[in-house]
Amino acid sequence: MPAITDSNGLLELIRKSGAVDAAIFNKELQRLQQAGPLPADARKLAAILIREGLLTEFQAGHLLQGKWKNLVLNNKYRLLGLIGSGGMGKVYLCEHVMLRRRVALKVLPTQLLEEPSSLERFLREARAAASLDHPNIIRAHDIDQSGQMYFLVMEFVEGINLQDMVRRGGPLEVNQAAHYIAQAACGLQHAYLAGWVHRDIKPSNLLVDRTGVVKILDMGLAKLHSDEKDDLTKRFDANKVLGTVDYISPEQATNSSQIDVRTDIYSLGGTFYFLLTGAPPFNEGSTAQKLLARQVKKPRPVHQLRPEVPEHLSAVIDKMLARDLNERYQSPDELLIDLHDWMQLPLFPPNPELLPPPLPPLISAPPTNKVATTSTMMPAVTLSTASGRLPAAAAGPLSSRILKPVSPNEATSAASERSGKTKSVAVDPSEEVDLLEDEPEKKSNLMSYVWIAVGALILLIGFALAYIIVFL
């Protein structure tokens, strides 16, 4: 469809797409029309609708290109923007139409369906996420399909991943880094008890919300360590190096299928090292050199690079990064015993200057019941036992300790005042979303009709020629 240039064409596509609730859109449009005539230019009108919160820039950009299909999936999920993309698909910010809340939607690209392991791995991620219910792991709500497209619906959390936090603000304070790692270890212990190994723990897969709660992301490489029938791992993972080179364990570098939770502990140790130093343990050389280094060398102790890090905490990191599996912590709970002093601290909300601007309330949410963001939905917590500080030899899994509320400073408010300025809409073709393309089955149906018509025409010509030859 050609690009939209006039406002009437834009309004028509908005209504066809369902990008805005029809009742709300008509009411707000009438209000705008009463205030004055709407501009005839589609881009100027789009800018006004963005300013008023009726469209997002993502929606407007695609509508102006004439792309409106699949802005609402299965009449349930309204696309609001692109969060990010990775090897297993793109992640979109969506509004659940009926529940009127934001969710994250991970879409498996249709071209990956041609790879034998992609769909099975995607479904395994969905099963892994759905089986885990813990405050330090992103929750999965649903998995769905639209035509040939599969997507996973997940909890949406406003925040920043640890990779970006360090990249923007530098290495973290010691207490802050230790507390974040302790929270991640709690989530890993929960996954371990459920039988899952993550296999790709790294700073960019640990998200911190506005209150300081850490969430483990992306179960795309997870495997059941207790499942002897894990055919997907045996068929596709046995001869591959899975994970991220800077944080992969020595044993995972040689055999990604024969690993257990201790490989996650190693990767978490590499993440801890990065949070305190600004670089992973083995950061020099080519990929091959990095993989070889972790097989034969020990990383330089953190306290030598950063003197304010206590030596006993530096020793904890060294133990997490031990080359020998048996010298490492054998479970996340063992690690948490050595981190118990930091578990007593209140949460460390990220520096607001490092965070993206808070999202405004959804336009579809009732004014008296606006959708709350994470900072207003989740109270600040500290990891604690029911009776107070944790003794060194406490019994029972530390990851199941009570989350005890504390009252640190309130995090940044989630609502932002709408700007009164009109801003231009940038339409970037490079941000074209695969799922907004015309559906392949509809193209094939059209071609089928064309070939049927051609066949019928040839048949008619054949009958006409036969009639001429026989009777004339």
d(CA 337, CA 114) in angstroms, rounded, equals 46
200 catalytic? Reply is yes
Cβ distance 354 to 207 under 8 Å?
Answer: no
CA distances from 383 to 46, 205, 210, 309 (A): 47, 21, 17, 21
Looking at 200, 209, 264, 333, which residue is catalytic? 200
**Secondary structure letter of residue 80 according to DSSP:** E
CA gyration radius, the chain: 27
Nearest to 147 by CA among 93, 107, 174, 117: 107
Cβ distance 331 to 192 under 8 Å?
Answer: yes
Nearest to 212 by CA among 249, 165, 259, 246: 165
Nearest to 208 by CA among 371, 380, 465, 439: 380
- The residue with tokens 């802050």 is 176
d(CA 407, CA 355) in angstroms, rounded, equals 21
CA distances from 98 to 69, 72, 78, 101, 102 (A): 19, 12, 10, 8, 11
Assign residue 437 a region (left: φ > 0; alpha: ψ between -120 and 50; beta: otherwise). Answer: beta
Query: Hey, is 85 helix, strand or coil?
Result: strand
- Asked whether the CA dihedral 284, 257, 90, 148 is positive or negative, the reply is positive
d(CA 141, CA 114) in angstroms, rounded, equals 26
Residues belonging to the active site = 200
